[in-house]
């Protein structure tokens, strides 16, 4: 008889533990990481809305970071969408002058945290693509800061873009 009570207790405890576990699926945010071609530049903290991006809509990006060099007049913010299957950019690169953005006062001193909110219209997006976000100066080919996110639809590719 005591074995039945022990078995019933174990079954009820197991049922209680299973019911207490969260079953809701959590949405994962797109993760931006360091650009492989520029390992020594600042990695930007990027959040976007909507996440994941929707083709041909206006996307809002909040970009934060602490630069190693001053941001001055003539510095740019660029958004690059890159198709990993076709191995080519999607549409045109979107360029913005940082110092003319609303709420931005230049120069932004090196070592000081900053935040920029920028809207950007997405192109027609394929199943597998990346978004590259870069900050640089008009005279330099190497950016001061760079972050990239790989966004996957139904399948993956082993190709990795070079930013």
Mean pLDDT of 146-162: 64
Task: Tell me what pLDDT residue 63 has.
Answer: 93
Domain spans of the chain? 28-152
Residue 98's nearest CA partner among 113, 116, 80, 110 is 116
| 125 close to 110: Cβ distance less than 8 angstroms | no
- CATH class of this structure's domain 28-152: mainly beta
Length of the chain: 163
Label residue 154 by pLDDT band (50, 70, 90).
Answer: very low
């Amino acid at each position: 008889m005591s074995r039945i009570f022990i078995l019933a207790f174990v079954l009820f405890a197991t049922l209680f533990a299973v019911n207490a576990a969260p079953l809701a699926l959590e949405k994962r945010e797109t993760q931006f990481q360091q650009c492989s071609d520029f390992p020594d530049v600042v990695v930007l903290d990027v959040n976007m809305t909507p996440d994941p991006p929707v083709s041909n809509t206006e996307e809002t990006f909040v970009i934060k970071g602490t630069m190693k060099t001053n941001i001055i007049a003539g510095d740019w913010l660029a958004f690059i969408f890159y198709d990993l299957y076709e191995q080519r950019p999607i549409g045109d690169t979107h360029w913005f002058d940082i110092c003319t953005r609303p709420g931005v006062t230049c120069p932004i001193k090196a070592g000081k945290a900053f935040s920029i909110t920028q809207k950007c219209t997405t192109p027609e997006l394929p199943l597998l693509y990346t978004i590259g976000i870069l900050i640089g100066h008009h005279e330099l080919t190497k950016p001061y800061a760079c972050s990239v996110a790989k966004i996957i639809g139904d399948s993956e590719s082993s190709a990795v873009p070079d930013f």
